[in-house]
């Protein structure tokens, strides 16, 4: 086994051991962090409670519980609950109900920004000293990543790859990093939240429509919606519009469901350890961490590849080849 394989095997084992002690149930909505208190951070319940207090009159019903590994934003809210809740209440008092902010929103956005900062720092550090014959191993690694992504997406975009690799390549790297970020102790995968994925899917949708209008012109875009034969336009136009609107929904739901399922599976198996008294603290979720890394890569590849396919379908027909 070479050094790289031994390193990644040791890293996954350490992550499994560190993540093992606790798995906590979370609720959606504004009350999402009530399950985690200072004492509960190290005591995992055997199963979600089946009995809940009756919700107050006019209050929204909470979403179903799901397990997830604890993260540092949970602890920040748990130890500073009252001032944070007062601060959020003051902000939400001046906002319409649809724009109300919860701690869960801040938590998810924080991890997105952390991933962006890490990727940016890595890119700047790797490309700081560029040369015709680079000696930096980080620069060579990043260059190989870019070349590999270019060669892969060239199978979809052909001669147009250079123009659109910045979008689809960035999507792949960003989504992959967010997917595996939850495997780091006290961190969370932002893609386990549908809103984050839907925002990325909306960006892809708008860019695809913009590309279609710029490359084909307004009349060419209308002809694409009308389809052939033209006399079927009363049927084809609504179908094409529905097809375009469904694309961001399907993109986001696919990624959300898979990453949420992975995180829940890891949390459940991590929580099983404390349910068996007198048993060694074995990382039962260890085998599933390899699957999580594999599926995270596949989901990032699917999202970015579909974005490339949507762009290719909107290019002028003579350029599809």
- Give the percent of the chain with pLDDT over 90: 41
Least confident of 10-19, 35-44, 136-145, 199-208: 35-44
* Alpha-carbon torsion (311, 315, 319, 321), positive or negative: positive
- For the stretch 73-82, pLDDT in tens is 988 999 999 9
Which secondary-structure segment (H or E) carries 67?
Answer: strand 66-68
Residue 54: strand pairing partners: none
CA 135 from chain centre, in angstroms, equals: 34
- Give the percent of the chain with pLDDT over 70: 74
* C-beta of residue 299 within 8 angstroms of C-beta of residue 175: yes
* C-beta of residue 15 within 8 angstroms of C-beta of residue 186: no
Cis peptide before 229 (omega within 30 of 0): yes
Angle at 26 between CA 25 and CA 27, to 5 degrees: 130
* C-beta of residue 182 within 8 angstroms of C-beta of residue 170: no
What is the DSSP secondary-structure string of 213-250?
A: HHHHHHHHHHHHHH-SSGGGHHHHHHHHHHHHHHHHHH
Least confident of 99-108, 158-167, 219-228: 219-228
Over range 142-163, report the average pLDDT: 92
Give the integer Cα–Cα distance in Å for 215 and 222: 12
Report the C-alpha dihedral over residues 262, 121, 141, 1, rounded to 10 degrees: -50
What are the domain boundaries of the chain? Answer: 3-48+62-319
Residue 248 binned pLDDT confidence (cut-offs 50, 70, 90): very high
What is the chain's mean pLDDT, rounded?
78
**Judging by beta carbons within 10 Å of its beta carbon (0-12, 13-18, 19+), is residue 41 exposed, middle or buried?**
middle
Q: What are phi and psi of 307, to 5 degrees?
A: -60, -40
CB environment 59-74: b (16+ within 10 A), e (fewer):
eeeeeeebbbbbbebb
């Amino acid at each position: 086994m070479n050094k790289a394989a031994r390193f990644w095997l040791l890293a996954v084992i350490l992550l499994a051991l560190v993540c093992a002690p606790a798995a906590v149930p979370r609720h959606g909505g504004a009350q999402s962090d009530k399950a985690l208190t200072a004492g509960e951070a190290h005591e995992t319940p055997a199963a979600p409670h089946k009995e809940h207090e009756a919700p107050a009159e006019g209050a929204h019903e909470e979403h179903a519980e799901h397990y997830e590994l604890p993260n540092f934003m949970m602890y920040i809210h748990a130890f500073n609950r009252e001032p944070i809740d007062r601060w959020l209440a003051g902000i939400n008092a001046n906002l319409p109900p649809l724009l109300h902010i919860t701690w869960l929103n801040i938590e998810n956005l924080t991890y997105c920004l952390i991933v962006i900062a890490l990727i940016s720092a890595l890119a700047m550090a790797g490309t700081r000293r560029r040369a015709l014959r680079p000696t930096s191993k980080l620069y060579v690694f990043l260059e190989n990543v870019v070349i590999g992504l270019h060669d892969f997406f060239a199978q979809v975009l052909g001669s147009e790859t250079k123009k659109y690799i910045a979008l689809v390549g960035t999507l792949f790297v960003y989504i992959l990093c967010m997917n595996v970020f939850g495997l780091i102790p006290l961190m969370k995968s932002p893609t386990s939240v549908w809103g984050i994925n839907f925002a990325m899917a909306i960006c892809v949708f708008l860019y695809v429509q913009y590309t279609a209008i710029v490359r084909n012109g307004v009349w060419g875009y209308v002809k694409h919606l009308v389809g052939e034969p033209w006399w079927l336009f009363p049927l084809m136009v609504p179908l094409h519009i529905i097809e375009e609107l469904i694309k961001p929904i399907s993109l986001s739901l696919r990624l959300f469901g898979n990453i949420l399922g992975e995180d829940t599976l890891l949390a459940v198996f991590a929580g099983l350890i404390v349910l068996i008294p007198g048993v060694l603290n074995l990382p039962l979720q260890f085998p599933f961490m390899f699957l999580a890394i594999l599926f995270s890569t596949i989901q990032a590849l699917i999202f970015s590849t579909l974005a490339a396919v949507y762009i290719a379908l909107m290019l002028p027909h003579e350029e599809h080849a």
